[in-house]
Structure 1
Amino acid sequence: MELVKIVDEFGNKMHYKRYQGRTYHPDFLGNVGDHLTEIAAYQGQPGDVLLCTFPKSGTHWVFNMVQMIRANNYDYSGTPVVMEFQPISEVESLTSPRMYLTHLGYHSIPMAARQGNIKIIQVLRNPKDTAVSYYEFFNSMKNVAYEGTFDCFLKYFISNEFVAVGSSMFTYMKEWEEAKKDNKKLNVLYLRYEDLKKNLSENILKITKFLNLDRTEDFLRGVEENVLFERLKEKHDSNLGETERWKNNAEGGRLPVYRKGRIGDWKNKFTVAQNEMFDAVYKEKMEEMGLPLDEFVFE
């Protein structure tokens, strides 16, 4: 493993861990390799659900949605345990029904999940909105992996030097698309952030069926009301959102995960030149996968 620290000519700072040609967030546990081995070997328990998202794709929203449905109550579940940032012992200490998170790409999730023995819920979001949300997330915290302007952040975001999950978002998406086509054992529900925003009730029902649960219509309407953005933000901003794990990054360890929650906010941030650059790179990297960018964009 290599520790990388970069300061470019404009004073933008980025640091990360590099392992076997891939870049990982500096908070990734240990020397990367040993912890990746632990994650890959994790067997889970019957009934476990693994949430797989690229960062800033509605992770906490979907996590709390699923937890309410499974627990058959409206309790706020806070911040999920993240496999790459926390010891496996913290996953094992969770009480059932258990749900835990990884932002890692498909190549690094537990083998048990790849073999269909752990259910997966995977969420994608418009990459442009994801980029803006990620930048603002870094800006709101201390001791982060990137400090600098949005213009330079965007250039890092579309490159495989990006400080996230072992790859750029484009590589992340491509590897999941290949898995969907090639691995018929996957027990996975694919969700789109924009679809959730457009028709939340339909997708709450989809999640419920995927988990083989029987819930009343009244209860599911209650879930829909309790996962509205402002309601979750209010709960997260209370002591319910505090965590010990992230106390060095944010006050009370409360990650700044609820900002706007809107579709199309990238239009308020991208310049014309940035948008043209992003579109060109997206087309080059993703066109062969059959993932046109416009399918993510809803007005």
Structure 2
Amino acid sequence: MHITPIECFVSGDIRFNVTARVMNRSTLTANFQHSFLECCDHTGEIRIRCDKFGDKMKEVVINGVYTFTHLVAEKISQEDRERYRIPIEADHQLVFTEKSKSIEKPEMQELPHRMYNFTKIDELRKQIGDGTKKDRAMYDVIGMCKKVVEIHKNDHDTNEIELKLVDETTGLKKGFTLALVGQPAAEFRHMRKTGKFPSPFVVVAKNGRLQPRNNRIESGVTNMVLIPSLCELPNPWLSQRERYLKTWYKTAKEQKNAEDKRNEAAPKRERDADDSKEPGGALKRIKEEKN
């Protein structure tokens, strides 16, 4: 079987085979519309569309290595790239055909993982605050999600989901909004319905689009977000960052809870001290507490 490197694909009727690591994948819908994989090998990254034959990716897991056979290459139009904010830089995408197969290759773990260039959340807030960054700037972001907000723009569906993210640069109070619009919102709802969803959880977004309003970054129409803890074969580098954020968040929450308890106790101590200064104040307080 001839394997074609990702960087060598060209449009045409030729059927290609590719061996690559799955960096991310969409959720399969009933009719397989908008189903796709994002994959990489040593030469680059590529998107594999599965609109008509999504059943062929049922057993595919994120970060697994597979050989995908009988694929057809087609050029990605600039219109589609802008509309769907496709994070893959390749000019072409691959499409499953009726003869395509997904063959697992666990022995080929040397293939690279997706690379991220994360921007800390506080830096994103500063760029919006000082007016130096305008709409359409793209960033990779990772953060701890402390709140999920579903926004209903009609009576039938959730059109948008907002994830409130924090990291060690913002603390627990100040954060940033990752807005899931369109397909990412549908993907996220599906993941939450599985019953395996962790809380709180770490979220990763590739090529989110910075918005100069409301401290938010948008995932795009079909640019999926990644929940590292839900990956069956986690990316080692992402796992390290995920563990750090979880440890930071747990410690910050414990410190905040301890501070809240001290603040609650402070007024009571002040009242006790004031009562003690008044003649018979302490005895009066004891009687009041008994009553």
User: Which one scores higher on RCO, CA 8 angstroms, separation ≥ 6?
Assistant: 1
- Scaled to the shorter chain, the TM-score interval is under 0.3
- TM-score normalised by length of structure 1: 0.25
> Which protein is richer in strand relative to its size?
2
Structure number with higher helix proportion: 1
**Greater Rg over alpha carbons, structure:** 2
